[in-house]
Amino acid sequence: MGFTIGGIRGTDKPRTGSRRRARASDRTTVAEYTGLWGWTAVPGARALDGACSCGAAACAAPGAHPLDFAPEVPAGATLDEVTDTWAQFPGASVLLPVGRAFDAIEVAETAGRRALVRLERMGLPLGPVTVTPDGRAQFFVAPGAATELPQLLYRMGWDDAALDLHGLGPGDHITAPPSDRGGLGPVRWLRSPALDTATNPPQARLLLGTLAYVAHRSPA
């Protein structure tokens, strides 16, 4: 027997014939990500009281991973194409694969908010920024940043500092606003996507110095 969380029944196969059951808000959100911003999306698990809708009792990331039996919705997908897929997984969270249109640099929320103010004042190019309910800020940057991050930090003299700063790249997924993450609450935009940066986010090196400096000075 499976269990039901947020409309997803653990261990169940995708539902068929349920096109009308997918909430309109879910469909339009995913269609915006795929059609307007040019991102791939994938249905993700939900969590309640620590239990994951994937049905695995020992799930390593409850409510924060893709459903392994769910297909991706590719960049460029239309509302009808999104509906056909998402209707099979009503209540699924929306996840964005990292390492394709963007990588991400993740810092503590406090540091991220302070860094964002500095970066905006400096007039530097910025992409979208999310903030998660568990207190993380994620800055979208050009693909390849996660791999290059150690070398970039070394060149900037931050390689020996104890920084709460991490790169997210291929194989990682970001929970997209306004989906719930891990049963803790919704992910939100700290800086919303824009047409000029959604598919062309800034190079990590342009932001990294400020992010590292603020992360170093911000309290743990």
Provide the domain count of the chain: 1
- pLDDT below 70 — which residues of the chain? 1-23, 219-220
209 within a domain of the structure (yes/no): yes
For residues 150 and 47, give the distance between their C-alpha atoms in angstroms, rounded to a whole number: 33
Share of the chain above pLDDT 70, in %: 89
Residue 93 and residue 44 in contact, taking contact as beta carbons nearer than 8 Å: yes
7 within a domain of the structure (yes/no): no
Q: Any alpha helices (H) in the chain, and if so which ranges?
A: 24-31, 79-86, 109-122, 145-155, 204-217
3 within a domain of the structure (yes/no): no
8 within a domain of the structure (yes/no): no
153 within a domain of the structure (yes/no): yes
2 within a domain of the structure (yes/no): no
Amino acid 25: pLDDT: 82
Amino acid 218: pLDDT: 82
**Residue 126 belongs to domain spanning:** 16-217
Mean pLDDT for the chain? Answer: 88
25 within a domain of the structure (yes/no): yes
Amino acid 219: pLDDT: 67
Give this prediction's pTM. 0.88
Amino acid 8: pLDDT: 42
23 within a domain of the structure (yes/no): yes
Residue 53 and residue 46 in contact, taking contact as beta carbons nearer than 8 Å: yes
